[in-house]
Amino acid sequence: MKNNTITEQLTAAGQKIEHSSFEIVDNEVGSHNYTQAQWAIVRRMIHATADFEFNGLAHFHPQAITAGLQAIQQGANIVADVEMICVGLSKPRLSHFGVTTHHFIADEDVITQAKAENTTRAVQAMRKAKTLHLLEGSIIAIGNAPTALLEIIRLIKENGIKPALIVGMPVGFVSAAESKAETELLENIPWIVTHGRKGGSTLVVSAIHALLALAEAG
């Protein structure tokens, strides 16, 4: 396995801090039941939040890592529920693989349609992504809106869309836990989720950065 360069911090000082942080997480986490690749993702999630409860709260479809790495190596689209995810992802790391991010939550047509149909902007944003043919073979990145995740599940079941991977980690009290529990019932679409109410865009970004690092390591 080669040393990473693209997915590392840009300075030696930054690299030292990040690597030291990972070592601290490894030393303090205790036991876990993740594979080496899964742990690389969970560890980065813990690093991003200082919350060791994600050791156990992070759940993986059996094919999630393989599907995610393949999608990245093929330059898949990332469709996010909110702009925060797209801003948080490293553009140089994405461009190395030819990966492009998309979000539509603030588009005027999305807002207009949400008002007209009395739905959320997140729902309409996912529908717009489908209309633009961006969901097939993509990585769906949801860290804020449970309704976006539920809409993706509906589109999978009713319209047969086939994203490469769902990173479903919406945070909150209304439908957040339920949307992730429903995602875990998907058998043919790989997913990575956080069980229960905890989640957030920061976790989605950290999970995708970990996948990018795994993809570079080969």
Per-residue pLDDT of the chain (218 residues; tens, 9 = 90+): 457 878 878 778 888 888 888 899 989 998 999 999 999 999 999 999 999 999 999 999 999 999 999 999 999 999 999 999 999 999 999 999 999 999 999 999 999 999 999 999 999 999 999 999 999 999 999 999 999 999 999 999 999 999 999 999 999 999 999 999 999 999 999 999 999 999 999 999 999 999 999 999 88
The active-site residue, picked from 47, 59, 96, 195, is 47
For the question of residue 96 being annotated catalytic, the response is: no
Instruction: Kindly report the CATH class assigned to 12-217.
Output: alpha beta
Question: Residue 122: is it exposed, middle or buried by C-beta count within 10 angstroms (0-12/13-18/19+)?
Answer: buried
Locate the domains of the chain by residue range: 12-217
